[in-house]
Amino acid sequence: MPELRVGERQWSVAAGSNLLDALNHNGVAVPYSCRAGSCHACLVQCVNGLPADSRPDALSAEQRQQGWRLACQCQVVEDLHVHTFDPLQDGRPAQVTAVDWLSDSVLRLRLTPERPLRYSAGQHLVLWAGNVARPYSLASLPQDDRFLEFHLDCRLPGEFSDAARRLNIGDPIRLGELRGGALHYDPSWHDRPLWLLASGTGLGPLFGVLREALRHDHQGAIRVIHLAHDASQHYLAKPLQAMAASRPNLDIELWTSAELPAALAQLRLVSRQTLALLCGAPESVDAFARRLYLAGLPRNQLLADVFLARG
């Protein structure tokens, strides 16, 4: 049986064991969210030995050369010595500059990194509050160089959302790896219809993409659809409607869960050139995508990021 070592600890694991499970089940707390190789919360560094990796494309060549691997995508096949991500040593320092509620369940968190961070609309970061980490999409734009903004869904209790509720202005926080994800705005889309469909706080990164499109003076029709449990959860309704008031090509639609079946049934494409960006819970993204495909949207014109519930 292969030996797994972390720091001064060493134990035997069954060959082929998932590396993330082998670590967490033996008291080495490695955070995770998606278990699909997307969020990068479970990043570990292999000091000696290498695991079998089912997603070698998920990291850059430089990261892989340095031994970094996504534990959720790896199997232990030989003796392995790993270094788990240490936010104090490996993370970027940042400070909380604002914590406020956008609705009774959506917490807006603004952070100022010690050094400026280069990013694009739609990207996401792993945030560390003490030893608890979760990936969150950025709702801010690089032009908002005073802060990084995140919208946290706090409807349900969870380790990170509970920790976030206790944050105060001036508190330190650590930033993990910046990730691209699927969502972005391409200036070459300038004249094409652009649909942004979100559920819950999936609206956060799409709010950034929308503002990036408007910054580039997007000329095609823009349709924003936000699905929420009920009307009180349309937490960006006012700023979206204010933007639409001055942009004749921008249309805002606020749907509730009860309205979803009928609203989806009425969804029609106005152009085969439409581009659709989707973000939110898996069941909502799946429902949006199925309807868009049935309406004739080519699959290569749909980009999606899925938020998994793990607070």
C-alpha–C-alpha distance, residues 224 and 280, integer Å:
14
C-alpha–C-alpha distance, residues 26 and 20, integer Å:
10
Please report, to the nearest 10 degrees, the dihedral formed by the alpha carbons of residues 55, 59, 61, 64 taken in order.
-80
C-alpha–C-alpha distance, residues 34 and 49, integer Å:
25
Question: Encoding tokens for residue 166?
Answer: 């206790």
DSSP 209: H
Question: Encoding tokens for residue 168?
Answer: 């105060």
Average confidence score pLDDT of the chain:
92
Highest mean pLDDT: which range of 51-60, 124-133, 148-157, 249-258: 249-258
138 touches 150 (CB < 8 A): yes
Question: Encoding tokens for residue 7?
Answer: 């720091």
Q: How far is CA 64 from the centre of its chain?
A: 22
Q: Is the pLDDT of residue 211 over 90?
A: yes
- The H-or-E segment that residue 89 falls in is helix 87-90
pTM equals 0.85
Q: Name the one residue in this structure whose structure tokens are 């001055």.
A: 246
Residue 85: pLDDT band with limits 50, 70, 90? confident
From the list 20, 37, 39, 38, the residue with the least C-alpha distance to 29 is 20
All domains in the chain, ordered by first residue: 3-85 (3.10.20.30), 88-179 (2.40.30.10), 187-306 (3.40.50.80)
pLDDT given for residue 89 in this prediction: 82
146-193: pLDDT as tens digits: 899 999 999 888 888 899 999 999 999 999 878 777 899 999 999 999
Question: Encoding tokens for residue 256?
Answer: 């509730």
